[in-house]
Each structure stands twice: as structure tokens, then as C-alpha cells.
Structure 1
Amino acid sequence: MELAIFGGSPVRNKPLPYAKQYIDDDDCQAVNEVLKSDFLTTGPKAKEFENIVAEYVGAKYAVAFANGTAALHGACFAAGIKQGDEVITTPITFAASANCIRYMGAVPVFADINKDTFNIDVEDIARKITNKTKAIIPVDYTGQATDLDAIKELVKGTDIIIIEDSAHALGTKYKGTTVGGIADMTEFSFHPVKTITTGEGGIITTNNEEYYNRLMNFRSHCITRDIEQLENKDVGNWYYEQLDLGMNYRITDFQCALGISQMKKLDWFISRRKEIVNKYNEAFKELEGVILQENAYFSDTVNHLYVLKLDLSMLKADRKEIYNALIAEHIGVHVHYIPVYWLPYYQRLGYKKGLCPNAEDLYNSMLTLPLFPAMSDEDVNDVINGFYKVINYYKN
């Protein structure tokens, strides 16, 4: 069968994106009610949303932010990360996982990934820890939990803080426990392509009251009217003080209303994502030229992304050619991610290619296939058929 890129008919008539939000009438009604209310910016819906997320993940506290990057920045502030500190993270992630470290003037240290699970390699974390290490930011890449117990064992007896970047992993369980209440702080993202959405938005969950208070202050300029925090307490009700240099990272109430409505559908979102992943795994597990991401025994994973690796030694094309062929078939593949230290900003800081060989090997051969709850079974079959069509064409 001739490939669409060479003039053949594509496997489907309309392009299928790699991800897309799911918004229904209940979501629209929830947002509309807030738009007609007395509160638009951070108000009662924000607190309600925070409570729902905290309860779901089993954490005492949650602080919602304008986006996931802002939430990570807040976590780094709450952790007391400062100029000269080192923070270890993975290069296979969105740039925000490292940028939040730079916002505090600290130095990102990149640990390589496990070549099978694609998550950060705990043994390489151990090799990268120094007396300057202030925190570790492991990323639950694609939604798969990192080995949190192993990381906690590494930092046992130290002051090193674990900030789990679970932007991909809402609903994932680690050894039977929902991620979000295990690390010192955990971040979730609510960008439209994530498991639930608030449009833009993020949240930090924690069991630490001190971190919670610092997060709350940081989100709103570090300005407070809390009598317990004020230096000058004998002033009128109008009085406030700025305690530190914070940011305006507040989330809106109408975003949180959307989040509350989305949380009601979370069980279905999780179930549908798992159905699609199982179909893909079954279809591709014996396909020559393809290497599937291994799921660690301890992770009951809710995939945000479906990432696989091409075995280019068995194919007569590089990743770019296969990517373009799939796009021509109207299969919206993507690549997640370029190693962070390959980006021009980090190259100018002095990071060199070759730093994390497993991560670089994965980047050079990875593809992300479409995965979102609104995909129909026909959509899923189109992806499978289109992928087979392209891979079989390019086999050696």
C-alpha cells in the first residue's frame, strides 16, 4: 500500500491531533455560573478545587497556581532554593522542570534516564548528589511514577527536598498510593492536553504546613493580611505587609470551576486512557522496529503521553522521515521531548551534548502517538493501522 507521503491515500480523512481537551456542557455551565457570580479571580471556587485535589491525592494541603510552571516555581521558593544551590532533574521533560530551578538562581544538574522506563535513573541521581544539592525534581514522565522510595532512601538523613513533577501523572498510583502525598511537594499541571484541564493551571500538594504557607504567600506577591504573620499588628483592617519577593501567580475562580467539573469525570478519563494504552501495547508489542516503554512494577500508570522508541537499526529511514510519513497519513504524532540541556539557552550556560547518553538516544528515536479520552475506537484503530502501514513500508 503506497504511503500518503508519496501520493497514496491516507488512512483517515481528517488529521487526528496527538492530544485534545474534553469539554462538555457540564463544564461550560460550571464556568458560566462563576462568570455571573461575585468572584472571578482567586476566591471560593479556588479553595474548593484545592480541597478536592488534596483529598483525591491524599495530601493535607493544596495550592493552585496560574499554570504548572508557576506551581513549580512556587515549590522551589517554598523549598528555599537559592543562588548557588544545585537541583537534580531529568533532561527528558518540558523545559519548566529545569527553568523553575533557574528562576531561583540555582543550577540544574541533569541525571540520565533509565533506558527501559524512560524515567530518571536513581543510580545516576546518586552519582550527581553533592554537598550543594538542595533538591531533586524527579518527573513522572508520560504519567509513570518514578521510584519514590528509592529516591527517599537516597536523601535519608539529609536536608535534600523532593519536589515531584507529576504534571503528567494525575491519578497514577505508586505502590498502591496515589501520587501527590508522597514527596515533600508534588506538582500537577492542568494544561488542556493533561488528564484534566482548567485551561491553564497547576497545583502543588504537600503535607508540610510551612511549605503550604510559603506557597500561599508566594502565589500573591508574598503580601499578607494575616495577623499572625504581620510585623506591625496594631494597625487597621486595611493594613498588609510584603514579607518577601513573591509573584502574581493567582488562578481564577472560573478556571477552578472548570477544574471541579473535570474532576467529576476523572475516573472516566483514567479508564479511557488505560483502554487506549492497552490497545496500543497489544498491537505493537511484537511489531519489529518498535520498542515499547517499559512500565515499572510499582507504577499503576495513567498515561498522559504514549511514547515509544523506534529501533532504527531495523528501519531504512530516520525518525524524521517516519514522523513525516505518519503526519501525511493524518496521524498526529509528536516528539516529547528535546533534552532540556540541548536547548540554546542551556547550551549558552555551558551544558554540552553527550551529558546523558540514554536520554539523547531516546530523543533521537522517540515518537508520541495520539492519546486522549475523546478518541473513538475508530480513531485508535486508525493510529494502529497507520503506524503499521508506515513501519512495515520502512522495514529493512
Structure 2
Amino acid sequence: MFTELAESLEEIKKVEQEREGKLARHRQEILDQQSEIKHTSSQLAQSLGKIKKVEQERDVMEMACKSERMHRVELEEQLRERQTGVGILQDDLAKCRETIQRVEQECESDLARHQQKIHNVRSRVERMSSQLMEHFGKIEEVKKQRLVMEMARNAEQMHRLELEERFRARQAEAVALQRDLEQARGRCSELEAELKRTKVNDEVRKDEEISSRNAAREEGRDDMLTEIIQLLNSKCENDQRAKQAEKDRVEKERAEKMRKAEWELAEELERSRCQKRDEKYKNTRIWTDALAFDRFETILVVEEFTKIKFCASKPLTFEALPWPVLARPGTYAANDITADHVRAFFRTPVVTSAKSATHPIPAEYCKYLVKQGLLAFHGDKMVA
């Protein structure tokens, strides 16, 4: 009988050890979850509050376990004291087993419930992190657009200042020409006064000679004024043509700068998109041929590279091309790719998929990939 009691006590101890092991694992899992959640931002305060609530529930559960452990100790003492009452001890032992089983079931249910809560909190944290990354991406795009607009506005201001300086210079030239015209008119007036004085001094001369000379002088003055006016009109027309040509040149330069800035922005956005796409490949600790094949297949088939229409708003970049090489993306340039690298890629006999077991590349599918690769590197695609 004592042997049975000892065996029962050993069973109780084993059950208690298993339960303590489960509690320790549960405690370790909660600590791991806490260490992961501490790396999130201040916007996850609500999730942290829920985790604290889970910890409080865990503490309550530990208190219950401690009280149950104390109850078990009391039962063991009672069993030792009642060695003469074997039947009573057996009944108490059965009750203890039932209590332990019930507590274990409750602990398992509580553990499952807490794990589900932790899983929900983790999914919510991941969703909020992805939303934050999207917001950061939008903010970067807005900053780039604002930078392009500021560059265009600065170029337009510089153009306006240049036009104002040239207009002031043309105005100064017009004033100088006007001053020359006034001087010419003054000279004409002086000549007229001299002519009058000559008439007074030369009264003895014949009226016909005086009238002919006066007519000649009048005709010469009119010719000089006409020539000056023609020169002024010609200069104004030349200035207008020069202004229009300068304006057209500046507008063309501004349009070219805007087009270049838009092209650079679109090129940067396309590179950023390709970098985000290749993040999972670049961050991989061990690079394999399977990952190289998966990247080539993703760009060529999933993204339908052959159907993409590249233009000014979506320029073709080196990162966007599905290069058939086995090297890790970001570790090679255009000069590093040779025909040997391409042949080595398509001669890979077996590929290990990231989603399934190892399987050979079907011949038909390999031909399809080669055909799509030739279309991707067609001359028309490169010109676009």
C-alpha cells in the first residue's frame, strides 16, 4: 500500500514537473513576444497595453498554480499523517488527481487563449508597420515632387531676372538712340539758323541761287531724318527678333530641364520600386540558385515584363531587367554579365523552390522562359 502511495506521489510530482515545464515554456514565449513588441513605435501603445493585460492574467494564473501547489503539499502531509486510513488516502488521492487534471485543462485552455491573443496582437502590429512603411513611401514621393517644383520655380525666376536685365539694357539703348536723334534735330536747327544768317549776309546774291541752295539743304535734312528713322525701325525690329529668339531659347532650355528632372525622378522611383522588390533577395543570408531562378521567374512571368510599356514616366533601368544570372542582385553590373553567365543559368538542372520541394525544370517551361527572355531583351524593348 505504501508503495502505491509512493508511486502516486511520484506520478503527482511528474505531472507537476510537466505542468511547470509548460508554464516555463509559456513564460518564455511571453517574454519572447514582449522583446519583439518593444521594438515597435509609440503608436503601438494600445497593443502594449493589451500585452500587459495578458501578463496580469498570467500572474493571476501563476498565483492559482502556487495556491494549487500549496494545496498539494497539504494533501501530501495529510497522506503521511493518515497512513493508517488507506481507504481515505485513496479517496483523497483520486480527488487530487481529478483536481490536477482539471487545473491542467484550465491551464492549457488559458495558454491557448493567451497564445491566440498574442498572435492577434502580432498580426495587428505587422499590419500597422506595413501601413507606416506605405506612409513613409508616400512622404518620400511628395518630397521629391516638391523638390522638382522648387527647381522649376528657381529656373523660372532666374529666367525672369535675365529678361528684366535685357529689357532694361534695351531701354537704355533706346534712350541713347532717342538722345542721338534729338542731337541730330538740334544740329538741323543750327544749320537752319546758319542758313538764315547766310541769307542776311548774302543779300547781294541772286534769289534763284539762294532758293536752290535752300531747297538742297532742306532735301538733305529730310534725307538724314528719314535715314535715322529707318535705322531706328531696323534696330527695333532686330531687337524684337533677338528678344523672341532669346525667349524661345530660354523656354526650350526650361522645358528640357523640366523633362530631364521628370525623367530623373521617374528613374529614381523605378529604381526604388525595384529595390523594394529585391529586398527579400538581398536580405537572404544564404544565396542559392533556386532564389536566382525565383527572381528571374518573378520579374519575367509574374510581373509580365514583356508586356510593360516603358516611357518617359516609366523609364527602363538596369534594375528592372530580368538578368538571367545566378549571382545575388546588387552584386553585379552590366559589364559583369557575359554569355557564360547566361548559359550557366539556363543549364541549371534542378531548382529548389522556396514554396515546395526540389523539382527539375520542365523542358517546355524552360523553352517558354528562354522565349520570354529573348522578347524582354529585344531591340525594340531596349529602344523604348
Give the TM interval when normalised to the shorter protein: under 0.3
TM-score normalized with structure 1 length = 0.17
Determine which structure has the larger helix proportion and give its number.
2
Instruction: Give the structure, 1 or 2, with the largest relative contact order (CA under 8 Å, sep 6 or more).
Output: 1
TM-score normalized with structure 2 length = 0.17
Determine which structure has the larger strand proportion and give its number.
1
